[in-house]
Structure 1
Amino acid sequence: MKRLYRLSALLLVGSTSAFSQTVSPQGQSTSDAPVLEEITVYGEAEGDSVIQNPFLAPVEGTKVFAGKRATVIDLDALPKVQANNYRQALALTPGLLFSEETTPLVSLGYRGIGEPHRMQFMQVLKDGIPIHADPFGYPEAYYTPPLDTVDRIEFIRGGGSLMYGPQPGGALNYITYMPNRESPFSFRTQNIVGSDDLFSSYTAVDGTLGSLGYYGYFNHRESNGFREANSDYRLDGGHFKLAWDIDADTRLIFGFDGYEEEHGEPGGLTASDFAKNPDKTTRFNDQFRLKRYAGTLELQHTFQPGTELSVKSWAGYYQRWSKRQRGGGFGTLPTGANASTNSIENQEFYTFGFEPRVRHDWEAWGNTHTLAAGMQFYYLTSPRQDQRGFEPDADNGITTQDSLRETVYGSLFVENKFTFGKLSITPGFRMEMINQSVNVQNYNPATGALTSEAARADFEAQPLFGLGISYDLGSDTELYANVSQSYRTTVFSEAIVAETGVTTTDAGPSVGWNYEIGYRGTPRTWITYDTSLFLVDLDNRFGLNGNVLRSVGRSINYGWDGAMQVDVIGLADQLNGTNNVERIGSLNVYANATLLQAKLYGGPNDGATPQYAPEYIIRTGLIYNLKNKVKISFLGTFVDDHFADDAQTANRFIPGYMTWDLTAEVKVTKNFTAMAGLNNVFDESYYSRVRNDGIDPGYGRNFYVGGSFQF
């Protein structure tokens, strides 16, 4: 069967097929290069449904994408994705592993590079601004934008560290909606209900008055969850954005986010309990709460055609709070004396960042070349307090540890796209400078007396180099190649170890090289493809070996990504000289696959396969679209066996699984659209995530129905 799967994977390739359009400040759409005398905002207004090119342009604004493996995840290609279902959102994108869980939080892995938990090995951004709790000392993305508010997601593989900073797993950049430039006021509300008392609501207003555009939304989602108890969640989020065209060459964009979320943590299971009852709860008192408030300000200015400036600044407050009952073990109920107490953790993050970027086109040797450069300054102060509660569900208790963490970061970066006819060569350089400090005070959990103090400060200076090459073969096809460095900084938990009995030895940054060569294109309106070979070499991987936090060696992960999408009705039109797409719509057959081989070298797990590195991930299915009035998708995901730890421990084994989702969206009238979906159609019993507390089961068959009203 494995051989059959591998053979199938070699035959399957996929992505989205469509033409890209960008939105100018005046709201005009064009698939040509933007008019340089005006500022171009690469995003759509809320409610637009233009399916964009799956490949980013060589240069967009102040950023150079030439020679990078950069793709677009355009949610308009599918029926509206509900309840932040990333299994559906990633249907057309190879290489990303969705580690599903019972909570509304998101975990994504990439090509077997580290644990997917909270996307900690990836750079995660919203409109180009990092949204990890702290991208350096605590790179966990507890907050991600509701997909209802996202125009598209840009995923940059090789070269992501040169463009945005550390993390070897690439960069995921959520591009959110811009104000509607063609109307003074528009309104949209979307509401759905579903299994396990799911209720999701999204309401947005936007428009433009004179030179001022505005966009605001409120999002609410709640559910009791599918576990027996303590899997309920509730989240509320809002956003407000103003875009002011000061003149034809200058624009200011102001944004503010508010987000609060809380959920129960029903605990993990053993393999035998999962087989008997995957809905079982083993933790009845554990809870998690999150708050995030952030403001952003961006200046866009065109000095002259081909010379642009972007200056972004941001400041925010982030709070992560949890309480977890003590006692118990892997998939077991808390027992013994410890079960009458709990651990309470409160972390706060106060952040400030500033990033100017400039792009300048220059002429030489009969061609136009593009220089992109900039810098970033980032500051964080982060207090953390740990307490011991004396009830299983206590919200406060006696302080066991107080710590104060600080990060000061600066970077300088430059890339230049040299163009020689159809060939472009883009060398890049980034200099990273990070100073982290941690001060910890430990207290006796019974008396509250101070027992010890510790302090540590680390400065890291990390140069990064990269080179991208692209050759235009004509007919919207190209060859590309990229080699670039990446790295992962030392995080706070590796600098000062909080867990009793755990020691650290050789904490230091992990440094890697990413290599990729591929061929992609949209030679006809009915076909899109992208195929590449890759290798990721990551040295000084950090992990827990017994009670020692240390380097667990070097990993080399290599393989093949392939993606293809074919509109069979469009193909028939071309063969027969007909125009049935306009009459009956398009039927896209898509498939994409990642074949992966990964191995650890040196360290305690020499020769083992790294965690979350399945040999294949295959996605395939059908997407029907009739003039954006009717959209129906049938989406399949196939994932091979793999392990959730580097030591390949028996209870961390994740069996292969296969899921299918059926979703639909029908525009009933000009103002009303009906939506419905059946997730995990064949009720696959599976799990894709295992943590220290046990197996986190996947969601069985579930449904939703609802609709949206707009004017």
Structure 2
Amino acid sequence: MHAVGKLVCLVLAMWTVGVGELAGQTVVVQDETGRAMPVVMVQWSCLESEAVDVFTAGAGGFQWPDVFCQRAEVVFSAVGFETDTLELRRPSGASMTLEVSMRPLVVDLSEAEVGEEGGEPLTFMNALEAGGMYRGVKSAVLSPSSQLVVDGENQTRNVFAALPGANVWESDAAGLQLGIGVRGMSPNRSAHLSMRQNGHPIAADPLGYPEAYYTPPMPFVEEVQWVSGASALQYGSQLGGMLNFKLRRGSWSTAPKLRTLTSATVYAPREGQLRGYFNAFAEVQGGGKRQAWLVGWDQKQGSGWRDNARFQSATVTVGLRQRTNEQPRGVWLFEERFMAMRRTEQQPGGVTDAQMLSDPRRSDRDRNWFEVDWNIGSMDVTWLPQRRDIDVQGSVHGLLASRKSLGFLGTPNRVDPGVERDLIWGDFSSLGWDVRMTKRVVQEDSDRFSALVLGTQGYLGENRMRQGPGLPGADATFGFNPQGPLRPESDFTFPNAQRAAFAQGIVALSDHLSITPGLRVEGISTFAEGTYREVIYDGAGNVIEDSVFQSTNEKRRTVLLPGVGVSWKRPTGEWYGNAVRNFRAVNFSDIQINNLGVVVDPDIGDERGANFDLGYRTANESWTLDVSAFLLLYQARIGLLATTIPDPILVEKPVLLRTNLSDAQTSGLEFAGRGSWSFTENSRTTIVGSFSAMHSRYAKGSLPVIEGNEVELVPKAIVRLSVAHTSGLWSWQCLMQHVANQFTEATNSTYTATALHGLIPRHQVLDLGAQRRWSDSGWSLGLKVNNALNTQYFTRRALAYPGPGILPADGINVRLTLRYSA
């Protein structure tokens, strides 16, 4: 990275030296005489979210568990005292102590005013939260609004600055499509993660086509939750774990409030013309004592950094919440959410290595288009019985979506002949459910509790994938051409079904030590039925064979996934570890879709593996730290192999073979941290960062050509650092990223003439931001400079759309954002 950029961030970091800690916000429970209670069982439930925590408080009281939550329902119980249920507000001062007596209705906190405060940019999942169990599990909770100084962020590399090992593809403008992988797994459409929104799947088909073409706009998102591969016991069998976007919701007892964001992004001039895009966001929310609502809208439109990169995207969301009064049978909570997104974008295609060096903004494809329609609906029900040691959650979710890609799929060193384009059209529909019960057992006269979570989940999907000649022309007209020339085509349906049951428990062995055993059983049925056409040409372009085949493929299997975790809590932090089996079903849709130069092994099978974590984490008001080591084992890992296959014309045809390559393993060290220091009452510096060092190899006994090679898409190091400083109404931020070299296929080739595979070189990127607030009016104005040193780099080599070839990342660009919040 340029020396000037490093110096700017180093100076900001040095400002943080030598400043003391902030005191915590504490709640102390007393008896009727005013003496602190030595042992009190506390069940804390946030009224603004579904966050739930159960713990034991001693004579010193307890710190407010979640800095994001301002109002909570808290149940206090102790031997010899009546159980009390109170609605509490978070203490307003950093050093304020709130005293609560163990007598019915002895404190009225309705007048306690809480000023608007930002949350923490990095925290962890609670031991029990919204029906999930996370004791002894590696996790991270990111708060984009707290971490980023300038509102309306579209650069995903900055959003995930605190997530170690996050390999992010940066190949489109405006953050339209998230491609992220962790621990050396492919970022392609985030397909190796269980992608979720408010806990519900958002991928096209979690079984047969787990690619997520939809990502919620960041202004909609309250926090991003990641749980490692150990989450397979609760969320399904993805090796990369679970990534959940928790959306903003309407607040109880709040008058209608408006929040808007308007931004304009401008790129460096291209042939004397400025390019850029516009982003508008608006949200209105409010609520009463028993109901709350939210309506949001996001619009992006303009052009990207490269030629032929126009786009428009619109997203709308509606969220409703209801809760009942306290009844003899307890409290009921309901939540409904609907999200709709439509996006059309022109895809500039890929470039070769030589073109990347000479002119990365060039595009030789002006007829390639992509369109996505994504509709997601969900309903959640939570029952909190009056006894409060049990809660039950149930949900249903549905998806109706489509994706269409249209264009010329030739390699970037070929000229588009301007004839009929290739069209791939996918339609997806699914319905799923999730029901789980949590039972807590408090051991009297002891600083410990145990818990058991039982759950069942189901999924039914009906999908159709078609490929064939599209209409000629250059505009975004999506339709098949029945009069088109002979070429390979296919039409398949994919009905899939999954039913699962799981159990996971917290077994307290002492006040500090607990284990979390678990077991998941899945019954999976995948089915593919349809036709495909094969056309073979001679060297002169004449058709020598034209055949249509009928194909049916069905797989049924039962998968058993055991796991266990351990947690050892100390006064200064927590040591944790876990081990769990994982499973990933082969994608039938990938087998049937023809990609450029990619041939799928007809005997390809499922992937299996295991995740292991061992780490230490701690947090307080001033800093957060998580340091861990991991081991990820693959069995029959699916990947790409550069090889040849028999061909009637060429005898041996060079291809990329998608197959079960061999067993492999990836190990690494991960670090994530946050430090905050206050100089004065209105001056504060926050450093957030992550580091990951990874080592990967294909195991002995694999194919001789790849034995001992590095696993593809595994950078040896990923480093991200954010330094933010706030002084009065002004804020500044410096964000840095370093990603090491990575290969794109198993032979570890570094160069090919077509640029479909080869080396992705290391790169460093620097972003700078500043924002000015007007606190009395609710307005703020921010300026962000992305890729401030105008580094030329790329993070992806595409095999098909939106390429094929190298997809350059954006050069320097400037974003101006105006924000209003009532």
TM-score, structure 1 as length reference: 0.89
Displacement of 1:490 in angstroms is: 1.5
Per the alignment, residue 723 of structure 2 pairs with 622
User: 1: CA distance between counterparts of 2:623 and 2:245?
Assistant: 25
Paired residues of 1:282 and 1:333 also in contact (CA < 8 A): no
**In the TM superposition, what whole-angstrom CA distance separates every residue of 1:502-543 from its partner, at most 9, and x where no partner exists?**
352432211111111111112x53222111111111111113
**In the TM superposition, what whole-angstrom CA distance separates every residue of 1:654-680 from its partner, at most 9, and x where no partner exists?**
111100111233222432111210011
Q: 2:697 aligns with which of 572, 592, 599?
A: 599
Paired residues of 1:39 and 1:251 also in contact (CA < 8 A): no
Which amino acid is 2:687 matched to?
V
Match status 1:536 vs 2:607: no
Structure 1, 695-704 or 539-548: larger mean CA deviation: 539-548
**In the TM superposition, what whole-angstrom CA distance separates every residue of 1:262-318 from its partner, at most 9, and x where no partner exists?**
111101111111111010102211110000112111001102312111101011201
Per the alignment, residue 415 of structure 2 pairs with 334
Give the alignment of 1:5-154 within 5 angstroms: 24-25=46-47, 31-32=64-65, 35=73, 49-51=118-120, 54-75=123-144, 76-103=146-173, 104-113=176-185, 115-154=186-225
Which amino acid is 1:558 matched to?
S
Match status 1:458 vs 2:555: yes
Per the alignment, residue 280 of structure 1 pairs with 362
**In the TM superposition, what whole-angstrom CA distance separates every residue of 1:560-591 from its partner, at most 9, and x where no partner exists?**
11233333x44xxxxxxxxx3423x2212344
Give the alignment of 1:271-350 within 5 angstroms: 271-303=353-385, 304-326=387-409, 328-329=410-411, 331-335=412-416, 340-350=419-429
User: 2: CA distance between counterparts of 1:463 and 1:605?
Assistant: 30
Q: 2:789 aligns with which of 669, 675, 682?
A: 682
Residue 533 and residue 679 in structure 1: after superposition, are their counterparts in 2 closer, same or farther (change >3 A)?
Answer: same
- Tell me the C-alpha RMSD between the 2 structures: 3.0
Identity %: 20
Residue 592 and residue 559 in structure 1: after superposition, are their counterparts in 2 closer, same or farther (change >3 A)?
Answer: same
Residue 39 and residue 226 in structure 1: after superposition, are their counterparts in 2 closer, same or farther (change >3 A)?
Answer: farther
Paired residues of 2:152 and 2:261 also in contact (CA < 8 A): no
User: 2: CA distance between counterparts of 1:200 and 1:398?
Assistant: 35
Residue 609 and residue 81 in structure 1: after superposition, are their counterparts in 2 closer, same or farther (change >3 A)?
Answer: farther
Which amino acid is 1:87 matched to?
R
Paired residues of 2:153 and 2:159 also in contact (CA < 8 A): no
Q: 1:582 aligns with which of 671, 674, 681?
A: 681
Q: 1:439 aligns with which of 499, 516, 529?
A: 529
Match status 1:646 vs 2:746: yes
**In the TM superposition, what whole-angstrom CA distance separates every residue of 1:130-158 from its partner, at most 9, and x where no partner exists?**
11111110010110111111110111013
Q: 1:246 aligns with which of 291, 313, 324?
A: 324
Paired residues of 2:202 and 2:399 also in contact (CA < 8 A): no
User: 2: CA distance between counterparts of 1:413 and 1:383?
Assistant: 30
Paired residues of 1:341 and 1:390 also in contact (CA < 8 A): yes
User: 1: CA distance between counterparts of 2:635 and 2:466?
Assistant: 33
Match status 1:703 vs 2:703: no
Match status 1:234 vs 2:312: yes
Give the alignment of 1:156-305 within 5 angstroms: 156-195=227-266, 196-228=275-307, 230-248=308-326, 249-303=331-385, 304-305=387-388
Alignment length (residue pairs): 674
Displacement of 1:48 in angstroms is: 7.0
Per the alignment, residue 694 of structure 1 pairs with 805
> Is the partner of 1:185 in helix, strand or coil?
strand
Q: 2:675 aligns with which of 551, 556, 566?
A: 566
> Is the partner of 1:650 in helix, strand or coil?
coil
Q: 1:482 aligns with which of 549, 563, 578?
A: 578
Displacement of 1:20 in angstroms is: 10
User: 1: CA distance between counterparts of 2:86 and 2:733?
Assistant: 36
Which amino acid is 1:587 matched to?
T
User: 2: CA distance between counterparts of 1:50 and 1:85?
Assistant: 21
Residue 690 and residue 194 in structure 1: after superposition, are their counterparts in 2 closer, same or farther (change >3 A)?
Answer: same
Displacement of 1:392 in angstroms is: 5.2
User: 2: CA distance between counterparts of 1:503 and 1:689?
Assistant: 21
Q: 2:779 aligns with which of 655, 664, 672?
A: 672
Which amino acid is 2:169 matched to?
S
* Structure 1 unmatched runs, 5+: 6-11, 571-579
Paired residues of 1:518 and 1:531 also in contact (CA < 8 A): yes
Q: 2:732 aligns with which of 624, 628, 632?
A: 632
User: 2: CA distance between counterparts of 1:640 and 1:544?
Assistant: 21
* Structure 2 unmatched runs, 5+: 7-12, 14-20, 27-43, 52-62, 67-71, 76-84, 88-113, 267-274, 483-488, 536-542, 644-654, 752-757
Per the alignment, residue 577 of structure 1 pairs with none
Displacement of 1:592 in angstroms is: 2.3
> Is the partner of 2:577 in helix, strand or coil?
strand
Structure possessing the higher radius of gyration over alpha carbons: 2
User: 2: CA distance between counterparts of 1:116 and 1:28?
Assistant: 30
User: 2: CA distance between counterparts of 1:167 and 1:122?
Assistant: 6
Paired residues of 2:490 and 2:593 also in contact (CA < 8 A): no
**In the TM superposition, what whole-angstrom CA distance separates every residue of 1:59-115 from its partner, at most 9, and x where no partner exists?**
1131111000011111122224535311110112211111110252111111112x2
> Is the partner of 2:589 in helix, strand or coil?
helix
Which amino acid is 1:280 matched to?
R
User: 2: CA distance between counterparts of 1:392 and 1:308?
Assistant: 58
User: 2: CA distance between counterparts of 1:206 and 1:632?
Assistant: 29
User: 2: CA distance between counterparts of 1:91 and 1:28?
Assistant: 25
User: 1: CA distance between counterparts of 2:584 and 2:534?
Assistant: 34
Larger relative contact order (Cα-Cα within 8 Å, sequence gap ≥ 6): 1
User: 1: CA distance between counterparts of 2:462 and 2:239?
Assistant: 24
User: 1: CA distance between counterparts of 2:727 and 2:376?
Assistant: 39
> Is the partner of 1:391 in helix, strand or coil?
coil
TM-score, structure 2 as length reference: 0.77
User: 2: CA distance between counterparts of 1:390 and 1:479?
Assistant: 60
Which amino acid is 1:636 matched to?
M
Paired residues of 2:45 and 2:74 also in contact (CA < 8 A): no
User: 1: CA distance between counterparts of 2:437 and 2:708?
Assistant: 45
Paired residues of 1:282 and 1:332 also in contact (CA < 8 A): no
Residue 292 and residue 596 in structure 1: after superposition, are their counterparts in 2 closer, same or farther (change >3 A)?
Answer: same
Residue 52 and residue 130 in structure 1: after superposition, are their counterparts in 2 closer, same or farther (change >3 A)?
Answer: same
Residue 541 and residue 255 in structure 1: after superposition, are their counterparts in 2 closer, same or farther (change >3 A)?
Answer: same
User: 1: CA distance between counterparts of 2:726 and 2:581?
Assistant: 40
Displacement of 1:181 in angstroms is: 2.0
> Is the partner of 1:163 in helix, strand or coil?
helix
Which amino acid is 2:395 matched to?
K
Per the alignment, residue 648 of structure 2 pairs with none
> Is the partner of 2:123 in helix, strand or coil?
coil
Per the alignment, residue 574 of structure 1 pairs with none
User: 1: CA distance between counterparts of 2:604 and 2:785?
Assistant: 46
User: 1: CA distance between counterparts of 2:811 and 2:689?
Assistant: 24
Structure 1, 315-324 or 399-408: larger mean CA deviation: 399-408
Q: 1:521 aligns with which of 606, 618, 635?
A: 618
Which amino acid is 1:663 matched to?
G
